Each structure stands twice: as structure tokens, then as C-alpha cells.
Structure 1
Amino acid sequence: MATPTLDKADSKPEAGFADSPYITVTLRIRRFNPEISAEAAWEDFQLEIDPKERVLDALHKIKWDQDGSLTFRRSCAHGICGSDAMRINGKNRLACKTLIKDINPEKPITVEAIKGLTVLKDLVVDMEPFFQAYRDVMPFLITKDTNEPTRERLQSAEDRERFDDTTKCILCAACTSSCPVFWNDGQYFGPAAIVNAHRFIFDSRDEAGEQRLEILNDKDGVWRCRTTFNCTDACPRGIEVTKAIQEVKRALITRRF
């Protein structure tokens, strides 16, 4: 039996298929290494990359192929862990969710550490103050029953929906480090801590709402918010952060939640 052969005309690539998808981009990264200098400085890197790839991919290419000393955090690379939050072209974003083609690759793409937290090296900041504020609002279910429950704590779909939005926080700090109040006063709890307090204040199964409200009633608490909406714009999960903060303020005034 004869082996079938492809007609040469049929084997031609589709129009445009042979064209390279790669473009040349420049990443302008704000570098800082305390072992070398007390001052940060911008450094440009050029690379070939598919515009459909992400800024995180570009950072990997630079670290692996050009400068192994480049330092940044990343883990899941799928917008879940929140560890690669950074300022890209002046806005807080997750590097793993930001496509090259969406941030005007014809001009240098600026990448720097998020603001309001001490930079340790390059794009890595000290997250401890951020996580301390998170711990201070007691982000866990609290009930008065000291005995282990014998059945699950039931909740209606309506009650669950009440705090559904604020369960989506991934603690990336994009909202908190976009807040002008936090930039100027590191004592402010910040949007992320308030969002995580909201998640339990409005949980019908929780019994420590009053206690959390008193924590946020502090001079560095919820009243420091100036409603600039920076936090809402910065959230990579689409949480209505400013709305949540306003609901906590209202609960403090009315004591209804």
C-alpha cells in the first residue's frame, strides 16, 4: 500500500505564521542593594519577549539570562498567592497578571517596589508591619462557646453573601501600599486589615464583632481613611475595598452589623 504524501502546496505555513511573535522591550527597574549603596537607582534591561507574556515572565528572563542578582518575590504565578505585588508603570499590580501588551511596551516599562513599606532589596519590601496590622484585627472566627462544636455552624446563603466580597483578599498589600494615608503614616491599619476585619465583623457565625470594631475605632483605625478609592483601583481581585471600609464606619456609628 502506497504511503500517502502531502502536496507541497498543502504544507505551506499560514500567512503570517513564520513572523516572529517577539518584540524588544525595555524594563526600567528601580534597583536597591543596601550592601552596595544606600541609594536606589534605575537600571534598564532590554529583552526579546512575546507581548502576550507577563511582566513576571520578563523578570524571570532578566534574572535567569542577564542579572542573577535581581531580587523579587513570586510563588504561584497565577494571581492567588499575592507575593509578586509591585508598582508597574506607576500602578500597583501583580506581575503575574500583567501582560506586556497591556502596558504600552513601545515605551520603557517601569518596575519598582510597592510604596509605604521598607525596601529590603530591589523589589522586595518588609511585609511585617502589614502582617502585624492583619493579625491585630483578629482575622479568625471567634465564638463564646469554649466547647468543640458537635456539628457545623450553619449559615444562610444571604448571610454568606453579606461578606462574600471581602473573602477574596489574598494579602498582596496592593491596596494598602496604594493608600496615601499609609504612605505618610505607617501606624494606620490600612485597607487590607480593615477588609479582613470586615470579613468577620459581618459573619453571622462570629461573636467578636464589637471587639474588632473597638480595635478599628482607634486613632490609627478606620477613621483615617480619606476615601480616595486608590485601594479599590489597586485590588487585583476586584474587591470593593472602599465600600467595605465605609460599611465598617457605618457599623461603628450604628452598632448594627
Structure 2
Amino acid sequence: MTTAIMDKVEEAGAASDHLITVTVRVRRFNPEVSADVVWQDFQLPMDPKERVLDALHKIKWEQDGTLTFRRSCAHGICGSDAMRINGKNRLACKTLIKDLNPAKPITVEPIKGLTVLKDLVVDMDPFFQAYRDVMPFLVTTGNEPTRERLQSAEDRERFDDTTKCILCAACTSSCPVFWNDGQYFGPAAIVNAHRFIFDSRDEAGSQRLEILNDRDGVWRCRTTFNCTDACPRGIEVTKAIQEVKRALITRRY
């Protein structure tokens, strides 16, 4: 055996030394097969620094190709792989195995409050409909400007936090009010309304406030802070909701 080959064998051995065996317990549901939900365990050799998304990839690519889940960018930007991991809403692509006590089974299930279509995939249509209902776009009147709409750093800072939303639904699907009443707009929709209500360039703040003044709007919030805890982007969701409530009362924004 040549020295080069021996070096490669040694490198492969060293690379496998730090792997641990992890049990990933996945909530499975396939309406084409059965109406019943089952939990299925998968044993995987994993680097503790790998992510839950890596574990799901290994399951799908090496053990069970029928496992169904959403993911896109895999870098915490698209928000498509939000799911409940060990009972808490997280992004699978941002959750490291080592942070989950891998000595015990890691449970993975779909986010709550939305209809499960298959395995870890839920129907996002109600979530995005609430998002569309709050008019998540800049509204202005008059002629189209000939130059950019200028805004001071102070005015921008007023709503900077809520621009970070990636529409992963982690906050909305962690809300107990949303679990019990799917008509509630939910934290994510309110956050995206906040982003434009407090934008000094926008002229539809009053209209959005009236939308959120509805019985299914901000007054349904019970301030449990679940949404803030669940947000993978660190947005102060509960604070934003309270600011919208205050704007409704004072009409100052």
C-alpha cells in the first residue's frame, strides 16, 4: 500500500472517530397510505456539529426516500424548513445536533396550527393569506417620484427589527391563540403590517390598522411571548404587536 493511500485511510478513520450515533424520531403521516400518524426512529452516524437538516437529508437519501419535508437555501434565509424539534419551533438548517442532547432521541414533527399534508409539510396557504391581507407593500399617492424616496436613519430604525422576517411561520405556529383559532391573523402577519405602518414613506398606515382592528386582529394576542421565543431571526415579535395595539389606541405612528 502506497504512502498516499495509507494517508487517506488514516484521514478517513480520523474523520469517523468523532461521529456519534443519533436517534431521530420523526412524526410520519401519509394520507395516501393511512389516516393514522406514526412515529418512526432512524439511527444515524452524525457529526455533533452537523444540523438537523443534515440528518433529514441522510434519512431521505440513504434510508427512506419517502420522507417529505421542505427546505431550500439551507442557510436560515428562506425560512422553508421550520418545524418542531424537541417540542420547539426551529429552523432545521440552523439547529445543531450537539445543542439537542443527542444522547436522547431527537423528535422532529411539523409546526402546529396548520393542516399537515404529508410528514413534515403543512399547508401554508392560510398563513400566506393572512400575510397578503395586511397589505405587505409600500403604498403611496401622487405622481411617481423622479428620485428615490429618502428616509433618515432614525426613521428607518423605527421599523428596522420587523424587516428581518423571513416568513417561516415559526412565530405564528407557536401561538396558542392561532392553534385554537385559525382565523387569527397571527404574529407574522402583524409583524409585516408593523414594518409598513411605521415606515415614514408609506401612506396606508390607517388602512392597515383598521384591518388589524378586526376581531381576528391584534386584540386576540394574549402576550405569551411564545412568538418572540420562536423567532429564528431574533425579532421582538411581542413588542411589535404591542406597538401596533398602541398605535390603534393613540392613532400615532
Q: TM-score range by the shorter chain?
A: over 0.9
Rounded Cα–Cα distance in structure 2 between residues aligned with 1:193 and 1:19: 45
| Displacement after TM superposition at 1:20 (Å) | 0.7
RMSD across aligned positions (CA): 1.5
1:34 corresponding residue in structure 2: 31
Deviations 1:8-34 (A, max 9, x none): xxxxx9xx9577110000000000000
Q: Partner residue of 2:164?
A: 168
Cα distance, 1:144 vs structure 2? 1.4
| Pick aligned residue for 1:62 from 59, 71, 78 | 59
Structure 2, unpaired ranges of 5+: 1-9
- Counterpart in the other structure of 1:96: 93
User: Distance in 2 between the 1:206 and 1:169 partners?
Assistant: 19
Per the alignment, residue 5 of structure 2 pairs with none
TM, length-normalised to structure 2: 0.94
What are the within-5 Å matches in structure 2 for residues 1-257 of structure 1? 20-145=17-142, 147-257=143-253
Deviation at 1:40, TM superposition (A): 1.0
CA distance in 2, matches of 1:119, 1:32: 8
User: Quick one: structure 1 residues 187 and 18, their matched pair in 2 at CA, closer, same or farther if it must change by over 3 Å?
Assistant: closer
Please, what TM-score do these two structures have when normalized by structure 1? 0.93
| Bigger helix fraction | 2
Q: Deviation above 3 Å: which 4+ runs of structure 1?
A: 16-19
SS in structure 1 opposite 2:41? strand
Instruction: Quote the Cα distance in structure 2 between the aligned partners of 1:66 and 1:192.
Output: 35
Cα shift at 1:138: 0.2
- Sequence identity (%): 89
State which structure, 1 or 2, has the greater radius of gyration over its C-alpha atoms: 1
Q: Offset at 1:149? A: 1.4
Alignment correspondent of 1:4:
none
**C-alpha deviation, 1:39, in angstroms:** 1.5
Task: Specify the code of the residue in structure 2 equivalent to 1:211.
Answer: Q
